[in-house]
Amino acid sequence: MIKTALVLKGERNIDLFRLLNQCSEISIVGLACPDGRFDWLAEEERKNVFVTADLEKIIALSELETVIDGTGEPEVIKYLKKNLVNGVKLEELAPHSILNALINSREQLLETRLIKNELFSVLNAVQDAVEVVDAHGIVKYVNPAFTRVTGIPEEDRVKSNIFEVSPHGALAQSLMQQKPVTGYRTYVGGSDADVISNASPIILDGELMGAVVVFQPVGNILKLMDELKYSNFIIDSLYAEIDQLSGSRLSFESLTGQSKVFTSAVESARKASRSDSAVLISGESGTGKSLFARAIHNNSSRKKRPLIVIDCSSVPDSRQEIELFGCEKGAMPGILRTRLGKMELAQGSTLFIKEINSLNPYLQQHFLKLLVEQRFFRIGGEKAIPVDIRIIASASEDLINASLQGKFSIELYRHLSLAKVNLPPLRKRPEDIPLLAEGFMDNIGRKHGKKVKEISPRARQEMTEYDWPGNISELKNAIERSVALTEGAVIEHRHLAPYIGRLRTLEVPEFDEIVPIDKVEQRMVQLALTRYGETLEGKKKAAQALNISLATLYNKLKKY
C-alpha cells in the first residue's frame, strides 16, 4: 500500500481526495491545503488524516512515499521538488493526466446516475401509463401506472417484444414509422384496457434508439371532458353574473344621504374596504346592507372579480351546506355531478353572506373552522380545498344578544366583526328621506315613462314624520306605487296616503269581535306585503318579519 500525502487547493479537489481515499492500494496519511481552508472536509474524513496548511509538516511525515500536487501552482511545485528527500516521489496532477480523466469520468457517472434516478422517480410517480422499448422493440421499462391500467405485471411485460405482444398499438406504429403517433385509440395488447395513446420515437444524433408511449383509459378522458363541460358552464354562469353586475358598479359616491349618522356609516365602510379583513354589516331590514356590501367590494383590491352572494334567510337549513361548500358527485341524492359551492366560486373574490344570523348552528362551527384553517372540504370530498376569499356578512338582528342567548356562535361573531359597519334606520336620519324619495322618483319615473318632477310639501312632510319601519325598502315601494297613481308631474299627499296612512292604521290591528285565526293571519300577510312590496326581495323580507319561510309565505298567498 502506497503511503501518500495530498497537496490540494480547497474544495476544488474534493473529488480527487475522495477517489484516492476509496482506493485500496493507496493510504492517505496527510493533507495540506496552503490556503488554510478545510471546511469542505467531512468530520469523519478528518479523523484518519493529518491535516495542515504547512507544507513543511507534510513532507516531514514518516514513511511517506508519494506526494500528489493538485494545486498546479508553480511556487508549491518548486518548493516540493526542492525539499522532498529520501526517495519520496512528486506526482503532478496535470489537466490531461490519467488521474484527472478518472475524476472527470467519475463525476459524469455520478451525474448520469443522478439523472437516471430522478427520471425513474418521475416516471414512477406519474398517473399516466408509460412503456419504453429499444430500437428492436424489446420492452425496457413500464411504470406502476401501466400495471394499474392494464393489469399486466411489470415482470410479464419487460423483456417481451412489442411487435409480438401489441403489434397494432401506438408504440409499435411509432417505432416502425419513426414518427409520433397521437390520439391513437386501441386496446392494449395482452389486456382488455381501452386506451387513448400518444407515442414518439427516441432519436439520438440521428439514430433510432427506441420509442415511448403514454396512455390513459378512455373512461378517464371522457370524465375529464365531462368535468370540462361543467367547468365551462360555471364560467359561463360567472360571466353572466359579471355582466349583470357591470350594469351598476355601485360605489360609495352612489349611496344617498347627508345625515351625520349615515356619513359616519359610509366612512366606516370605506375604511373597511381598504383591508382584506372580514366585515360585519348590521342594521334593520331594508337599511341598505346589500348596497354597502357591493360598495365595499367595488372599492377593494378584489373588485375585478364578481361579488358572490348567498342569502341564508332564503335557503332552507337542509340546503345551506351544499350552497356554501359544494358537493361531490353522488355524495347526496340528486347530485349527479360535482357541484361547486359559493366558497369555491368566490375564490380570489368576495363572498357576501346575507342574514348570517339565519345560518344553522352546525354550519356556524363548520364556517368558523374554514376561517381559521383557510380551507374546506366539499360534502363527500376527501381533498382539502384552500380558500382565498374575503368575507362580508350582514345581519338584521343583534348578533351579540343572539350569542348570549346561544343562537349564534360567539367565536364566529369575533372572527366576522374585525370590521363593523352599523347602518342607521330611516327614522334616525329623517333629513335623508326627501333625498332618497327624489332619487327613487326619478328612476321609477323613467322606468314607467312618466315625467314626475317633484313631491308636494305636504307629502314631503308626511314622509319625514313617518317612522318607516320597513326603512328604505318600504320608502321605495311607497314611491313606486305613488308614481303609478300620479297623473301629473307632482306626487301629492293623496298619492302617498294609501301607503303611509294605511300602514299606521294596520300597525296594531284591532278587532271588535272574535274573528277566525286565518283572518288575522290574512291581515298580517297583507300588512307585510304592503310594507315590503311584492317583489321577490320584498317577499323575502315579509317572510322574515312574519317569522316564516319564503315557501310558507307562498303557500299562504295561494291560500288567501
pLDDT in tens, 192-231: 888 888 999 988 888 899 999 999 887 766 656 656 656 6
502, 505, 507, 515 from 510: Cα distances, Å: 13, 9, 9, 11
295 or 550: which leads in pLDDT:
295
**Length of the chain, in residues:** 560
Residue 103: Cβ within 10 Å count: 20
Other CB atoms within 10 Å distance of the CB of residue 549 = 17
Note the pLDDT of residue 502: 44
Buried b (16+ CB within 10 A) or exposed e, 286-303: bbbbbbbbbbbbbbbebb
Q: Quick one: pLDDT at residue 247?
A: 40
| Average of per-residue pLDDT values in the chain | 83
Q: pLDDT at position 355, please?
A: 92
Longest CA–CA separation in the chain, Å: 134
DSSP for 342-390, written as a single string: HHHHTTTSEEEEETGGGS-HHHHHHHHHHHHHSEE--BT--S-EE---E
Give the highest mean pLDDT range of 88-97, 385-394, 402-411, 529-538: 385-394
pLDDT of residue 264: 95
Asked whether the whole model's pTM tops 0.75, one would answer no
Rounded percentage of the chain residues whose pLDDT exceeds 90: 29
Cβ–Cβ < 8 Å for 76, 69 = yes
Q: Rounded CA gap, 289 and 393, in Å?
A: 9
pLDDT at 325: 92
Could you tell me the pLDDT band of residue 487, with boundaries at 50, 70 and 90?
Answer: confident
Q: What does the pLDDT read at residue 246?
A: 46
Judge whether residue 109 has pLDDT over 60.
no
The confidence score (pLDDT) of residue 86 equals 73
Which of 81-95, 232-246, 441-455, 536-550 is predicted least confidently?
232-246
pLDDT band at residue 389 under the 50/70/90 scheme: very high
What's residue 259's pLDDT?
93
- Does 165 have pLDDT greater than 60? yes
Lowest mean pLDDT among 42-51, 265-274, 355-364, 455-464: 42-51
DSSP letter at 194 equals: E
pLDDT at residue 115 is higher than 70? no
User: Model confidence over 31-75: pLDDT tens digits?
Assistant: 888 888 877 777 777 777 888 888 888 888 888 888 888 888 888
- What is the structure's pLDDT at 395? 92
Task: State residue 394's pLDDT score.
Answer: 94
Secondary structure (DSSP) of 485-516: H--SSEE-HHHHHHHHHHHHHHSS---SS---
Query: Mean pLDDT over residues 460-483, rounded?
Result: 88
Query: For residue 231, what pLDDT is reported?
Result: 64
Mean pLDDT of 499-527: 67
| pLDDT band of 19, cuts 50, 70, 90 | confident
What's the pLDDT tens digit per position in 295-320?
999 999 998 888 899 999 888 888 89
pLDDT at residue 329 tops 80: yes
- DSSP assignment letter at 423: P
DSSP for 274-307, please give it. TS-S-EEEE--TTS-HHHHHHHHHHTSTTTTSPE
Average pLDDT over residues 174-194: 88
In the numeric block, which cell numbers belong to residue 508? 296594531
Confidence of residue 513 (pLDDT cuts 50, 70, 90): low
C-alpha cell at 297: 367590494
Mean of pLDDT values over 83-92: 82
The residue type of 308 is I
In this predicted structure, what is the pLDDT of residue 420? Answer: 93
CA-CA distance, 422 to 262, in Å (whole number)?
Answer: 9
pLDDT in tens, 346-356: 999 999 999 99
Region of 326 on the Ramachandran plot (φ > 0 left; ψ -120 to 50 alpha; else beta) = left
For residues 105-133, average pLDDT = 67
> How much is the pLDDT for 510?
54
pLDDT at 243: 46
Q: Judge residue 449's burial from the number of C-beta atoms within 10 Å of its C-beta, 0-12 exposed, 13-18 middle, 19 or more buried.
A: exposed
Query: What is the predicted pLDDT for the residue at 506?
Result: 42
Q: Is the pLDDT of residue 267 over 90?
A: yes
